[in-house]
Structure 1
Amino acid sequence: VVRHKSANVVTFNKNKLESARGEFDYPESNISPFSTYNRLTVFANYIGWLEKELFPSKESTTELELKTIRGDKFGKNSEIVDWGNDRALEDHQVMRLLDVVHPDSKENPWKSEAVRWRNYLIVNLMFAVGCRRGELLKIRVGTDNYPPDIKKREKNGRYFVLLRANRDDGKGGAKPDQRKYRPEGKTKTRLVPLDKRMVEIYENYLIHHRPKATGSEHIEYLFITHGDTTQCRALSISAMQKIFTEISKVLKFKVQTHTGRHTWNEKFSKYADGRIADGKTTEAKSEADRRKLMGWSEDSSMARLYAKRHDNERAWNMGVELQEEDSTTINSIVQKRDEDLWTDGE
């Protein structure tokens, strides 16, 4: 630092710094909670990226630590979940994503077959049920202490997954989660159905690949690490984020851990519109179903915000179609020198 110190850099002593600060009148912050959350997110993402660039061999937790201080994402602004900030994937992007992460794909970025099946299950679950990453990381397998969170109903033989909300912190006699940053759901505990395809993917990983990890029988959580010789452990939040970073590099477009939740809500809105048009349900019932499946309380505004974003997108598309239809008519008439257009043939 001394060797490269420039001679024309002005040094301020403490008294001058305090004097300079005294010249400013700091008003109360009027930045919205949503803007604050976004700015801190960008800052955390940059610091996390920088640490990975400088220390690629180190498992970074700095980004996660910084994001824990952001506070609540959603303020009182009704426009905070808007079509302009939509992170939902288009249908063709979802198909491309699922094709890349398929265990048999030549573009799959992971070498281990077990890791391929684990990550394939993770991605499919997120997009199939719209769950949060914390809910996914808390899914348990059957052990001596706990029943499995994915199981079959005796009544109709259909499978479901129990998505639990609270962190496993050891309260109430339960075994505490040993991960440094314990995953949590943030929404209500709920049961979500799984179709035959999802059950097949789950059972393939659970039966054929998960047991191969050293010490997997002692881990109560479904998703674990898969090292060649090292003792496995429950998958961490940072490891989950890394999975989606590696996927995004192959896809050439960004997919985040929350993308599945946004995409699920967009698909639900379109599906609900069709059922409402066919008279099979009502708008009130469909939004009640959304709240139930997403784990939101009855007085939660999140369902309305996601529905509003879908309404905005629909209005946007209708506005564009209206302009295009009008432009077709205008282009066929304006500046056309056929006298019949202006004289009505007279």
Structure 2
Amino acid sequence: MLTSAPPYEHVLIDDQKIPRYWATVWTMFHGAGLAPSTLKRKLGHIEALYAHVDQLGGSLDDALHVVDFDRLGNALEAFFAQLRNVPVPTESAQSRWNTAFHFVRDICERLERDPAAGNKMEEVRARMAQLDRLYLGLRPFRKRLGTKLRALPRNVVAALLDAATPGSENNPFYSTDTQWRVYVLICLLLYQGLRRDECLLLPANFLKSEVDLRTGARRWYMSVRSNETEDDPRGTRPSIKTANAIRTIPVAHETAQALLAYGENYRGNVDHGFYLSSSRGTPLSLEGVNLALRRLTEVLPPTIREQLLERTGARWLTPHPLRHTCAVVRTAQLLKSGKTPEQTMMHLRSFFGWAKKSLMPLLYAKAALDESLNDSWNDGFDARVSVLRSLPE
């Protein structure tokens, strides 16, 4: 069972409310550098392995303590069979398997370094290599070759922006404040390429500007980072994914005006420092973001929803495909502007917060060459005259 026990935000306990020993050790040494949301997800996968072994009448902690590779191997095999033996295996099964297997291997490697192990160290190394050969390459869920990125097609984006624009006849939200809150959320996801958690962590004063001394033009930019100065009352706290996600990125003038309009006119008089605020005056939650996108999906025309399902395999809009769409379009813009592939990769890593060795820019470069994903709409990606007309003076 996953719970919290100070000083740890997340900890696994058994049916007797006793912390699971090796999971706690793993949290201290291997989970300390993970974002809270990532650690919570991985501990959930590890708990699934513990629960599976418990159901079989065994004890995973006991098997790990004595480094019993026969019992560990049997447990892993049975766990893999459970993940695979379902009518429709999901991608989450692969993540659960990888986390569970690497947890077992991490603990075995730590025990191997124990001086008290004596002559067992060589045996442990050999048995661990055997575990790698037997189980490391197993895949409960195999992705289809050539699966496309979940970027949204042009018609879906156009319909989404029409529904999300404040004052639109198709906008499903009655309150003007809510309409603007959802609209700037779409701007942050679609035009700035932010992750959902990054949007929710933005401080109220995140948007900055400076005057270009050469041209006299005002340039806008924003910093993506954690908001450590604020006490976060949300049950599920958003977090920055990695250190590379902390970045400063430019903001188009049109987008900046929309973000300012919400902050100055529709955010409300709230007692917290987060930019996005709910209708109750509390920081907008992860669940609130998902609900807003679900409401927008409901008002899309049936043909658009069919196209969404056909292209992405999803019946509902979720935050991450908007980030994917931003990456595909930005890639196309950079290449069209004359940037070399190397320069394009560098800009993408900086803008989207990817590590230097990340292969994500290469995937988006490939997707950007697909004409069905970037058409003439990417030329005016930041120009939304209809929205600017509705901005307050």
Q: What is the TM-score of this pair, normalised by structure 1?
A: 0.60
| Matches of 1:295 and 1:128, distance apart in 2 | 15
Amino acid at match of 1:204: A
State whether structure 2 residue 262 is matched by structure 1 residue 205: yes
Conserved? CA contact 1:127–1:261, under 8 Å: yes
Root mean square deviation of aligned Cα:
3.8
Which residue of the partner structure matches residue 225 of structure 1?
278
State whether structure 2 residue 206 is matched by structure 1 residue 157: no
Unaligned runs of 5+ in 1: 1-16, 19-23, 42-66, 142-147, 317-346
Which residue of the partner structure matches residue 194 of structure 2?
131
Conserved? CA contact 1:108–1:116, under 8 Å: yes
Amino acid at match of 1:263: T
State whether structure 2 residue 357 is matched by structure 1 residue 302: no
| Matches of 2:324 and 2:358, distance apart in 1 | 17
Shift of 1:306: 2.8
Amino acid at match of 2:256: V
Conserved? CA contact 1:83–1:309, under 8 Å: no
Which residue of the partner structure matches residue 106 of structure 1?
169
Shift of 1:286: 0.5
Shift of 1:269: 2.8
- C-alpha change, 1:106 and 1:68, in structure 2 (3 Å) is farther
Which residue of the partner structure matches residue 175 of structure 1?
230
Shift of 1:308: 4.0
Query: Please, which of 335, 351, 355 is the counterpart of residue 273 of structure 1?
Result: 335
* Secondary structure at the counterpart of residue 218 of structure 2: coil
Which residue of the partner structure matches residue 287 of structure 1?
345
Which residue of the partner structure matches residue 293 of structure 2?
244
| Matches of 1:268 and 1:106, distance apart in 2 | 29
Query: Please, which of 121, 132, 144 is the counterpart of residue 184 of structure 2?
Result: 121
* Secondary structure at the counterpart of residue 185 of structure 1: coil
Shift of 1:314: 6.8
Shift of 1:157: 2.5
* Secondary structure at the counterpart of residue 91 of structure 2: helix
Offset from partner CA, 1:85-129 (integer Å, 9 cap, x none): 432112232121111111111111100011001111111221111
| Matches of 1:247 and 1:299, distance apart in 2 | 36
Offset from partner CA, 1:188-218 (integer Å, 9 cap, x none): 211111112112211211111112xxx51x1
Offset from partner CA, 1:14-48 (integer Å, 9 cap, x none): xxx99xxxxx994673989xx9762459xxxxxxx
State whether structure 2 residue 239 is matched by structure 1 residue 184: yes
Conserved? CA contact 2:276–2:283, under 8 Å: yes
State whether structure 2 residue 307 is matched by structure 1 residue 258: no
Matches within 5 A, 1:33-44: 38-39=91-92
* Secondary structure at the counterpart of residue 297 of structure 1: coil
Which residue of the partner structure matches residue 12 of structure 2?
none
- The alignment of Structure 1 onto Structure 2 pairs a total of residues equal to 241
* Secondary structure at the counterpart of residue 248 of structure 1: helix
Unaligned runs of 5+ in 2: 1-55, 58-73, 101-135, 306-315, 374-393
State whether structure 2 residue 280 is matched by structure 1 residue 234: no
Moved over 3 A (4+): 24-32, 67-72, 79-83, 308-311, 313-316
Structure 1 stretch 254-263 or stretch 178-187: which is displaced more? 178-187
Amino acid at match of 2:287: S
Amino acid at match of 2:277: I
| Matches of 2:359 and 2:372, distance apart in 1 | 21
Conserved? CA contact 2:230–2:272, under 8 Å: no
Matches within 5 A, 1:14-163: 26=77, 29=80, 38-39=91-92, 84-141=147-204, 148-155=205-212, 157-163=218-224
Q: What is the TM-score of this pair, normalised by structure 2?
A: 0.53
| Matches of 1:298 and 1:237, distance apart in 2 | 28
Offset from partner CA, 1:148-199 (integer Å, 9 cap, x none): 21111254531111111x4x5x5xxx33322111112314211111112112
Conserved? CA contact 1:162–1:191, under 8 Å: yes
- C-alpha change, 1:29 and 1:40, in structure 2 (3 Å) is closer
| Matches of 1:116 and 1:198, distance apart in 2 | 16
- C-alpha change, 1:293 and 1:69, in structure 2 (3 Å) is farther
